[in-house]
């Protein structure tokens, strides 16, 4: 049976979010119906709402949802999840393509359609506006968790223990596992490595925590905000560079590393000139990757001669090449042991105060904003 809910709706791309009454469709066999407890706010939500990504409106976004034991209903084809379970929500996959089958679910060959298509696999819409019955662009990352009740693709569900602090772990579904996974998986930072992290928003700060967990020798944070650089130090950065000040950032990195460049580097900005500086800062056999969301069509220039002579690598990184079912228990244990201070980067807001949360994220006042649904 369809249910009524309240959701944050963008009626036109570039327009404001507003609370609207919506109708939630009944679930299909590969879905679950969940009551949302909290939803992390990621810049991807804001970029999509602004029309900077190939999406449509009216729409309900949100892709870092959590459910506090209020799984309401489960489809017959959803394994290992039952009503009453506590779950985190992550990205959706097909579970059958070559990438999914080979352990690289973050690169599912059907990723774009399943997560950015705005509809279910059969073309139907999970949400409609109650006022006029207009279908909503939904099923965003298999969830559209900016809604009090969400229809969730079974592959997006991650069961977690009942004592999981949901406000702190809401962002595991995207930004947390992306920043940490980039360090653990894509770059495979090892003890004694030197690492440069460009951008100290939530992605960058999660990455710095991960570098500390991996016992990197030098953890260099690069940003233009002194307050963020200070926070980066508190979380494990051994050196900071304010890139808004005069100076050659790549050379400063070489000076810190006392080598011809850094071993590993991560871009969290998505800004082409910063990516170019990052690649230029790499030393011999250095490896860099990008996780920052950028506008489709963004291109960068690379000194090909230096790139092949030094054996540098520059690769893409989606979701930190992470499997959330494996990442969640590992990070929960690190947090229990006091080695993952998520509380230092998380600010919770009542969902009614969503506008202030959005503004604080845009201004940089909040690192990771989490909307709490009542």
3-state secondary structure 88-113: EECCCCCCCCHHHHCCCHHHCCCHHH
Q: Residues of the chain whose pLDDT is less than 70?
A: none
The residue ranges of every structural domain in the chain are: 3-164, 179-319
* pLDDT score for 239: 98
Enter the pTM of the model.
0.95
Q: Sign of dihedral through CA atoms 260, 263, 173, 120?
A: positive
Per-residue model confidence as pLDDT tens digits over 115-166: 999 999 999 999 999 999 999 999 999 999 999 999 999 999 999 999 999 8
What are residue 22's DSSP bridge partners?
A: 5, 129
**Fold match between domain 3-164 and domain 179-319:** no
| pLDDT attached to residue 309 | 96
**Sequence-ordered alpha helix ranges (H) in the chain:** 43-49, 98-101, 111-116, 166-169, 175-181, 202-213, 226-235, 249-257, 272-280, 304-309, 324-336, 354-363
Multiple choice CATH, 3-164, 3.20.20.70, 3.90.180.10, 3.40.50.12240, 3.30.450.20: 3.90.180.10
* CATH class in words for 179-319: alpha beta
């Amino acid at each position: 049976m369809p249910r009524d809910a309240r959701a944050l709706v963008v009626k036109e791309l570039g327009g404001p979010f507003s609370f609207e009454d919506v109708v939630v469709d009944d679930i299909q066999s590969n879905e679950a119906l969940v009551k949302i407890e909290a939803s992390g706010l990621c810049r991807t939500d804001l970029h999509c709402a602004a029309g900077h990504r190939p999406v449509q409106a009216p729409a309900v976004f949100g892709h870092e949802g959590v459910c506090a034991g209020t799984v309401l209903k489960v489809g017959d084809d959803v394994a290992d999840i039952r009503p009453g379970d506590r779950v985190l929500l992550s990205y959706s996959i097909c579970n059958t393509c070559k990438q999914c089958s080979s352990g690289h679910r973050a690169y599912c060959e059907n990723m774009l359609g399943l997560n950015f298509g705005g509809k279910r696999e059969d073309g139907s819409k999970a949400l409609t506006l109650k006022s006029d019955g207009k279908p909503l662009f939904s099923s965003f990352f298999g969830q559209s968790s900016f809604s009090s009740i969400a229809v969730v693709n079974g592959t997006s569900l991650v069961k977690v223990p009942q004592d999981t602090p949901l406000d702190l772990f809401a962002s595991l579904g995207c930004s947390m596992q992306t920043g940490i996974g980039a360090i653990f998986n894509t770059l495979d930072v090892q003890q004694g490595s030197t690492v440069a992290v460009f951008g100290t928003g939530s992605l960058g700060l999660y990455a710095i925590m991960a570098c500390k967990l991996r016992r990197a020798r030098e953890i260099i944070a690069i940003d233009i905000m002194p307050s963020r650089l200070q926070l980066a130090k508190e979380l494990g950065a051994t050196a900071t560079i304010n890139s808004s000040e005069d100076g050659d950032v790549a050379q400063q990195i070489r000076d810190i590393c006392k080598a011809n460049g850094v071993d590993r580097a991560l871009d969290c900005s998505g800004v082409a000139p910063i990516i170019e500086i990052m690649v230029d800062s790499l030393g011999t056999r250095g490896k860099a990757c990008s996780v920052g969301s950028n506008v489709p069509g963004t291109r960068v220039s690379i000194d090909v001669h230096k790139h092949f002579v030094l054996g540098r690598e520059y690769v893409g990184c989606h979701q930190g090449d992470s499997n959330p079912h494996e990442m969640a228990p590992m990070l929960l244990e690190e947090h229990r042991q006091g080695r993952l201070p998520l509380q230092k980067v998380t600010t919770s807001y009542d969902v009614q105060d969503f506008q202030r949360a959005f503004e604080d994220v845009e201004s940089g006042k909040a690192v990771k904003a989490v909307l709490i649904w009542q």
